[in-house]
Structure 1
Amino acid sequence: MSGHIAQDWEPVVIRKKGVAAGQRRDEKAVNEARRSGGPIETIKKFNAGSNKAATSTPGINTKKLDDETEELAHERVPTDLKKNIIQARTEKKLTQAQLAQLINEKPQVIQEYESGKAIPNQQIISKLERALGAKLRNKK
């Protein structure tokens, strides 16, 4: 390998694809074409740059929303489960933070369960039952 390897790099110029000089459509080019008597091709774009077409019928969706009667809400922790968690925790003389540490959850999770704001998760409820040694759920 006594020879020197030379690389032949040539510059590559990449340009955006645009309108050629002869096909300019700005106001100056149109005026030049008018003066010279050449052909002028102009296109009027309606609603260009606006979003008027998307909102041409505003009443349809609002009527559907007004007619909607179904109440959509997440399931919350039942009152009896909240009371059972609080009662079992106080019998064990644990704070919310200590109970959360026992089940490897954040203290906020225990707080949400006890206040009824949490969305019930069966895994967390079963962790609570094991940690507190009490049956928290009522059989349905």
Structure 2
Amino acid sequence: MADWDSKLIVSKPQARTATVRTTSQLNAAARSGNIIATERASSVANKSHHVNTDHRRIAELDRSDDVKPPPTVKLGVGKAISAARLRLGLTQKDLATKINEKNSVINDYENARAIPNQQILGKLERILGVKLRGSDIGAALPAPGAKKAAAK
């Protein structure tokens, strides 16, 4: 078989993909009609936020249609706050000023509408002198240093 019988196809070489680093190169590529694609380089830092997700909890939330309201303080806590506040002769505004919170925060706690915040409950316990967390809500707190004196 002679070389004359085989077909030789001559074509234009395929365009290579080039990385464009400046805006002028990007504009030149757009003017010439080249296809422009953008890709973000992935790194370990970009993927690390997916590692700690709890997929089972997320799937359970997706399947449930009901929305559960967040837990609020118990009514006994609100009654203990209002009783201690009245015993000290404070208004809601005075108490709010002493713990550096808004009046509405005290109102929400007394009406059992507030979402429990341990920092706010701790401030209220110190100012009012009553226990607002634990089993014996409304009981008087021991005086500061009373535990040290009892231990001796």
State the TM-score, normalizing by the size of structure 1. Answer: 0.51
Query: What are the Cα deviations for residues 99-124 of structure 1, in whole angstroms up to 9, with x where unaligned?
Result: 01111222221122112221101221
Q: Name the residue aligned to 1:18.
A: 30
Residue identity opposite 1:139 in structure 2: S
Q: Does 1:108 align with 2:108?
A: no
Query: What are the Cα deviations for residues 35-54 of structure 1, in whole angstroms up to 9, with x where unaligned?
Result: xxxxxxxxxxxxxxxxxxxx
Q: Does 1:78 align with 2:107?
A: no
Matched pairs, number: 86
Unaligned runs of 5+ in 1: 1-12, 25-63
Q: What does 1:1-140 align with in structure 2 at a 5 Å threshold?
A: 14=24, 16=27, 17-20=29-32, 68=64, 71-139=67-135
Could you tell me how far 1:137 is from its partner in structure 2? Answer: 3.2
Residue identity opposite 1:14 in structure 2: S
Aligned mates of 1:71, 1:114 — CA distance in 2: 25
Residue identity opposite 2:30 in structure 1: G
Residue identity opposite 1:98 in structure 2: D
Query: What are the Cα deviations for residues 20-77 of structure 1, in whole angstroms up to 9, with x where unaligned?
Result: 2xx59xxxxxxxxxxxxxxxxxxxxxxxxxxxxxxxxxxxxxxx96x62665221101
Displacement over 6 Å in runs of 4+: none
CA RMSD of aligned residues (A): 2.8
Query: What are the Cα deviations for residues 120-139 of structure 1, in whole angstroms up to 9, with x where unaligned?
Result: 01221121111011223341
> Is 2:84–2:130's contact at 8 Å kept on the other side of the alignment?
yes
> Is 2:73–2:113's contact at 8 Å kept on the other side of the alignment?
yes
State the TM-score, normalizing by the size of structure 2. Answer: 0.47
